[in-house]
């Protein structure tokens, strides 16, 4: 298995880093980013360890998620690839998860 990050997920991770760099500190931002990245390592041994993401069920791609602090890591399994599609702040309205153009704050 191999983990692949989508451009959208990478951009969201960068936005999370920038937000915490400005609102808290670089140290906190690095800690949160590392925590999110480290959380995905479990997928290499157990790709189905995340629960099914019901808010994306209509896409029929069996999206799953992991929780890392206040963030939901959305992923799907495609053959031998684990594709990280999104990193979503769980303090947002859950319906925003379907909006690919949502504000990233």
The confidence band for 104, taking pLDDT boundaries of 50, 70 and 90, is: very low
Percent of the chain with pLDDT over 90: 76
pLDDT at 92: 75
Q: Over 70: is that where the pLDDT of 103 sits? A: no
pLDDT reading at 37 higher than 70: yes
Sign of CA dihedral 21, 24, 25, 31: negative
The strand order across the sheet containing 81-89 reads 2-5, 81-89, 71-78, 64-68, 51-52
DSSP per-residue letters across 16-59: HHHHHHHHT-HHHHHHHHHHHHHHTTHHHH-TT-SEE-GGGGGG
State the chain's mean pLDDT as an integer: 90
Model pTM score: 0.85
Mean pLDDT of 57-82: 95
The model's pLDDT over 16-26, given as tens digits with 9 standing for 90+, comes to: 999 999 999 99
């Amino acid at each position: 298995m191999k983990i692949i990050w989508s451009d959208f997920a990478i951009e969201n991770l960068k936005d999370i880093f920038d937000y915490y760099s400005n609102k808290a500190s670089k140290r906190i931002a690095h800690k949160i980013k590392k925590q999110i990245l480290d959380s995905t390592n479990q997928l290499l041994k157990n790709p189905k360890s995340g629960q099914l993401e019901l808010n994306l069920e209509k896409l029929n791609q069996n999206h799953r998620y992991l929780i890392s602090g206040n963030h939901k890591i959305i992923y799907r399994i495609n053959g031998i690839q684990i594709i990280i599609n999104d990193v979503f702040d769980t303090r947002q309205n859950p319906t925003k998860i379907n909006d690919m153009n949502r504000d990233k704050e």
